[in-house]
Amino acid sequence: MDVILGRTMEFRNNINALRALAVISVVLFHFKVQGFGGGFAGVDVFFVISGFLMTGIIFTGLQTQRFSLLGFYASRARRIIPALLTLCIALLIFGFVFLPLDDYRDAIRTLKSSLLFSSNFTFAKGGSYFDAPLHENWLLHTWSLSVEWQFYMLYPLLLMALYKFVGAKNTRSTLVLLALISFAASVVLTRTSPVFAFYMLPTRAWEMIAGGLVFLYPLQLGKRSSSICEGLGLVAILASVMCFSEQDQWPGYLALLPVLGTALVIYGNTQSAFSTNRALQYTGKISYSVYLWHWPLVVLLYTCGLLTSWPYVTGAIILSFVLGALSFYLVESRANSATSATKTIIKYASYALGAVALSAVTSSVVKDYPGVRFAFVDLGQPAYSGTLYSQECFPNDYAAADCKLGTGEVSVILFGDSHAQSTAAAVQLENKQAALSWARGGCPTLQNFEMRDKELQRQCQAFNQEKLEVLKNSYKGIPVVLFSRAALYWDQSRNNKHRIFFPEAKDPDGSSFVETYTAKYIDVVCSIAQNHPVYIVKPIPEMPFSVYKGLNLHRRIFQHTTDISIPLHEYEKRNRIAITAIETAAKRCNATVVDPTPYLCPDGKCMGSRDGVPLYYDDNHLVDAGNEQLKGLFKDVFKGI
């Protein structure tokens, strides 16, 4: 029992229950369990709890003149490093056996940054937390540990300085000011620099300081008031978990809801059914280890294409808690607190740096001597460039190239984004002559639009304008086939630099956007159709992850081949705006719609692979095997030739 600001503080059952609620929310969110779309708010709950507890430890020590900075650092190292180190070593071994070489070396890079508590910087370079590519990273979840560790390093120094020079009362006032500044930065940067706002300490510090302010400004509540306080807090947390989603701007002002909710529950400090529930108490006890172990299981299912399989998801959720319990009893609870602070710091720093060094050596060895990974042979990524036709390409002014495919007279022009290039082989299977390929990756087939990436916007608009002018004055009568990964351009992922906007659309995410997009697409199609037969290809289905990686990992772990697919209705849902615009433009402009789904989506499932062979280079670009599935799709383009 510690004396804290003149009051006593025993083990807090409600805080342990809050930990349980937080980790359950995060786990179910990551496993995509319906109803937990805002489960990422569980991390914010953890931040508030950390701020409350750390402020209590530091402030109490300062007031009693017994605070030891080295002792504080040693206790944090003892709490965090052993379980994290165990997970990293396990992943190092797992990757050595099962992961492709490039993926293994990527995992080692993030493993090192995780053990050095700088992974939030690493992941911020990779884009938004909610974007698909990062979902293949085995240690993505360690970003929050890095933020907390950085807070632990700086916070006691700040409190010690403030306490010494301005006193206890002014220290509290200063923390209020710092929390407000951090919160304001979070609100502003969540709109302007959402990746920075999500991952970085300056925009997350207010959440931990908020927990500290709960400790520094205690409330004396009666039993009824405490129950009301806890009830309101739980409602706020549950509302965050159930009502928010990854489409919401986070953290920003929305994070106030779980942060204030957590503060209210801590203030309540009741012995309610929530606080005394034995299952929640046990879950709270093992919550840190559960948090550590659940994410690699999410990545495993995601990469193997099993994250939508409820038997596997249910098993992985159970396994997360089993591994968490084992980690708690075999690792966390055995961390020895008897040694001195200096020895503890040296010991765990040595362990962490030793693991970093071992990882670096392993990365070099497997690169230079791939044969040491005796268990498996890397299956490799399919070639992006097709072998079904010859081509000659010339760089243009728009960070792309104009290509002539095949030989002879030009009999067709392929125009669009990178899908015009990656699907060209399917066209050439039917074409006995040459084709022109005008493909600029990441560019919608539109004019007069805006993008988040202004340089990309400039290049796309100039590219489209040049090609439309050429089509107006040259190659008259030559068919033009239009390709587009259209759904990419209105995907609301916060780090999607390809997302387009229209200044005149009053509702950028609603019907006004759809109407404007459709009208502008019709303008482009009709302008081409004045001089050319136009064929509009409906979007090529996209897979939720890298197909070849999923196939490789599944084969390595389960020792048999499988196939990856998505339901046709998911494709139709993602591309509904594009399909509507294409069909409307075809009617208005007398164009022909070309539908790849009968070829790629038989029996209601869109294939990412067939008989264990990937049809895609990644998650959306077809390779030769995929293009061969489309044989016959473009035969009508060449009927009159």
pLDDT at residue 98 in the model: 86
Burial of 596 (0-12, 13-18, 19+ CB in 10 A): buried
Q: What is the rounded distance in angstroms from the CA atom of residue 399 to the CA atom of residue 287? A: 48
CA dist 315 → 135, 301, 322, 560 (Å): 19, 11, 10, 20
Residue type, position 192, single letter: T
Q: Are strands 565-567 and 592-594 parallel, antiparallel or unpaired?
A: unpaired
Q: Which amino acid is at 184?
A: A
Predicted confidence at residue 10, as pLDDT, reads 60
* Residue 80 near residue 149, CB atoms below 8 Å: yes
Residues across the chain:
641
For Cα atoms 239, 136, 50, give the angle at the middle one, nearest 5 degrees. Answer: 45
pLDDT of 640:
66
pLDDT of residue 8: 40
Residue 7: the pLDDT is 42
| Mean pLDDT in consecutive groups of 10 residues from the start of the chain, 641 residues | 41 91 97 94 97 95 93 94 97 89 89 95 79 75 96 97 93 96 96 91 97 94 92 97 91 96 94 92 97 96 85 96 97 83 93 94 88 64 80 90 92 96 94 94 93 89 95 94 92 72 72 90 96 96 87 80 88 92 96 96 93 91 95 89 63
The tally of CA atoms less than 13 A away on the side-chain side of residue 88 is 29
The pLDDT value recorded for residue 497 is: 76
Q: Is 240 exposed, middle or buried (0-12, 13-18, 19+ CB in 10 A)?
A: buried
Q: Are 606 and 566 in contact (CB under 8 A)?
A: yes
Tokens of 264: 């209210």
Where, residue-wise, is CATH 3.40.50.1110 in the chain? 391-542+568-600+623-638
Other Cβ atoms less than 10 A from the Cβ of 192: the count is 8
Using the CB atoms, write b or e for 316-333: b if 16+ within 10 Å: bbeebbebbbebbeebbe
pLDDT at 506: 62
Going by CATH, does the domain composed of 391-542+568-600+623-638 fall within 3.40.50.1110? yes
Write the CA distances from 505 to 202, 525, 535, integer angstroms: 35, 20, 28
Rounded to an integer, what distance in angstroms lies between the CA atom of residue 565 and that of residue 563? 7
- CA–CA gap between residue 349 and residue 161 (Å, rounded): 26
pLDDT of residue 513: 87
Q: CA 23 to CA 324: how far, in whole Å?
A: 11
The amino acid occupying position 356 is V
Read off the DSSP letter of residue 444: -
Name every residue whose Cβ is closer than 8 Å to that of residue 57 and which is 6 or more positions away in sequence: 67, 72, 75
Q: Does residue 226 contact residue 268 with C-beta atoms inside 8 Å? A: yes
